[in-house]
Amino acid sequence: MTKDTKARDNPIALWRRSRGITQKRLASMMGITAATLSVKERGACEWVRRDFEFFHDHGVSADYVLGFTPDVSGRMSPHTGEGEEP
């Protein structure tokens, strides 16, 4: 996987692009530099509590930011029990 693919697949990059928000604009909204946001989207720097609070205020769950769920609200899709076919 290339660095470009990883950044493109980052949940926040996907969320930001789906809303037509540039890195520069989101960084400004978050009170960080575009370079810092870029590093965070690439996974080279971790998200911090302040970031999670910002996203929470904008309806984005920590689970989504961290890539644990594809649902921006953080809802997990139902899964089958052990040994059951999906």
Instruction: Give mean pLDDT in consecutive 10-residue pieces for the chain, a chain of 86 residues.
Output: 55 95 98 97 95 97 93 71 45
Which run of H or of E encompasses 51? helix 49-57
Please state, as a whole number, how many other Cβ atoms lie within 10 Å of the Cβ of residue 17.
13
Q: What tokens does 41 get?
A: 């989207």
16 vs 84: CA distance, rounded Å: 36
pLDDT at position 75, please? 78
pLDDT at position 74, please? 83
User: pTM for this structure?
Assistant: 0.76
pLDDT at position 56, please? 96
pLDDT at position 82, please? 47
> Comparing C-alpha atoms, which of 18, 78, 55, 46 is closest to residue 8?
18
